[in-house]
Chain A
Amino acid sequence: MTDDFTQKVLRDPAFQELERKRNRLGWTLTAFILVVYYGFILMVAFSPATLATPLGGMTMSIGLPLGVGIIVLSILITGIYVRRANSEFDTLTNKIKENLK
């Protein structure tokens, strides 16, 4: 019971490519940040002493560069996503719109 317009878009190879690529990138990066973040949280929960270990002769503990690293990583992966979406995905979206005309 899906309308013709929707069927037409769903059959468009450009749409299928867009969906496949966006899904793969989006979920891969989502899984990545989840693993990194909850890995960190589990360390906080179960092994706080590890994070408090001083880093090679400094006062700074291992937890600090790890924590700041997660912040920097979050910025980097959103940047990676925008870069691909604004070029590759938008090209495909425009192609889908062209195919409808």
Chain B
Amino acid sequence: MSVRMSLRASTGAALAMLAPAVLAAGAIEGETQKRPINVTAIAMFVGFVALTLGITYWAARRTRSRQAFYAAGGNITGLQNGLAIAGDFMSAASFLGISALVYGSGFDGLLYSIGFLVGWPIIMFLIAERLRNLGRYTFADVASFRLGQKPIRILAACGTLVTVLFYLIAQMVGAGQLIKLLFGLDYSNAVIIVGVLMMIYVTFGGMLATTWVQIIKAVLLLFGASFMALMVLVQFGFNIDALFAKAVEVSPKHAAIMGPGGFVKDPVSAISLGLALMFGTAGLPHILMRFFTVADAKEARKSVFYATSFIGYFYILTFIIGFGAIVLVGTDPQYLDAKGGLLGGANMAAVHLAHAVGGNVMLGFISAVAFATILAVVSGLTLAGATAVSHDLYASVFRKGAINDQQEIRVSRIATIALGIVAIILGIVFEKQNVAFMVGLAFAVAASANFPVLVLSMFWKDLTTRGAAVGGFLGLITAVILTVLGPAVWVKTFGHAAAIFPYDTPAVFSMPLAFVASWLFSITDKSTSAQRESDLFLAQFVRSQTGIGASGASQH
């Protein structure tokens, strides 16, 4: 009972709600039980913030050059980077959103997990080594290696910023909901706290601070999720089928949770979502940027392997956590509201499960970890967005490379603050959206703009600046427009009766369009610059394969 008191009190945002709840269950019990929850969660979170601010102070003293600000000096090891990538990628949407999807729909949640993971082998086989060998700070370095700097960098920066903003919205919404529920703070205040902390990490500590925030968070999240999954399995004597049997028995959907259900409505949606998740992963700018923090291609490869292992293990855990929540949370009235929904909203399944298996201490720990998760991911996103502005747009396009380290870092810091403010505003605007959907949108843009341009520039000799620019922008604009016209925005946000574009994920249309347009506008490009770009391919090819001439390679 006491949990219901405190959760209801904090979600209610109004003290008025506390009174009837407390009266209903006995004032003393409600009062005394409420405090330990908040103290544990807040103490652990304050501890995390203190530690990360300490790291930021340490990192700030080492962040004097561009190379340090964008790429942590290139001194991160493969294992560290693998953990940081996992920390960057295992977002609040992954943890809260997917466990909530499993809680609500069972098997369908696994579809998201698989889609998020299968992009990693693609990154390993096609992207990681070549990216590290060709670039320095951003994927635009690679895409513009032999192509026209101005159009390609503008395209890459637009692709980066759109992806980053969609993704940021999802994280900010998760942050607001979570902190509102667990710390009793107002939604907007919670979003502002996350935004301000993120701005401090990135502005002062750059990539080095961001990396260590992500590493610490990854370790905490893997530990917390392992503990919860273990506690669920212990209750069923490690018989996973007994867990499923009980879940089928108690779930309102019964046996339907064991197979694909209503979440993927039709074949087109299923394939489109699959494309967006797989190739979107390989086009996420904040993930691609992490490959420049290691010394060479070998460490880049190791990073992908460690990251894939940690992320895959984590997704298996979220599946067990989701099913555990069906059994242990969905049947327990203390976690449910009057209509049978979860207190605090659909995304709280994992948080309630933490209390169910580990009491107030675990609830506090998981709350703090979820908060830390959001901070780590938004920091990585913001750094990637700010780098696109300062390195790709300002330094490379506007100043044409004639800029010193101090000036460029200053622009990056200003961009960080600006992005932070935009993220806070959008986080408040999009309060009521399902966070997993928002991430799906970010992936569609990454798959339709960033990925085609990056992969064609590395693999296809005849790609020209014109082809890449037309294809990339068409993919980007199509993905955004179809997303806006689709059900998630047109109906749920703008309140229209029916969607103009019937699918949530546009990738099945926008991604092939980007490839076809890049091809068509390249082969019909007979300009002299097109010929020169084709000639330069072989030099790029040699460097992408061997790393000879790659940045940082001389340090060996």
Contacts and interface: CB of A to CB of B under 8 A. Distances in A.
B530 to A, nearest CB: 13
B196 interface: no
Interface string A78-96: 1101100110001001001
Contact of B270 (A18, A19, A44, A78): A44
A54 B121 contact: no
Nearest to B118: A37
Interface in B87-114: 107, 110-111, 113-114
Interface residues of B, number: 53
Contacts of B532: 1
Contact of A68 (B245, B301, B316, B535): B316
A22 B114 CA distance: 26
Contact of A41 (B244, B274, B305, B548): B274
A54 B241 CA distance: 11
A26 to B, nearest CB: 4
A70 B114 CA distance: 7
A51 B270 CA distance: 14
A55 B271 CA distance: 25
Contact of B258 (A22, A26, A63, A68): A63
B12 interface: no
A42 B546 CA distance: 38
Contacts of B125: 25-27, 29-30, 81
Given A74-B312, A78-B304, A45 B267 contact: yes
A2 B539 contact: yes
A83 B114 CA distance: 23
Interface of A: 1-3, 5-6, 9-10, 15, 18-19, 22, 25-27, 29-30, 33, 37-38, 40-42, 44-46, 48-49, 51-54, 58-61, 63-64, 67-68, 70-72, 74-75, 77-79, 81-82, 85-86, 90, 93, 96-97, 100
Interface of B: 107, 110-111, 113-115, 117-118, 120-122, 124-126, 129, 240-241, 244-245, 248, 255-256, 258-261, 264, 266-267, 270-271, 274, 278, 298, 301-302, 304-305, 308-309, 312, 315-316, 319, 532, 535, 538-539, 542, 545-548
* 3 A-B pairs with least C-beta separation: A52-B259, A45-B267, A45-B270
17 contacts: A30-B121, A40-B114, A45-B264, A48-B261, A52-B260, A53-B259, A59-B241, A61-B259, A67-B113, A68-B316, A70-B114, A71-B117, A74-B312, A75-B309, A78-B121, A93-B545, A100-B548
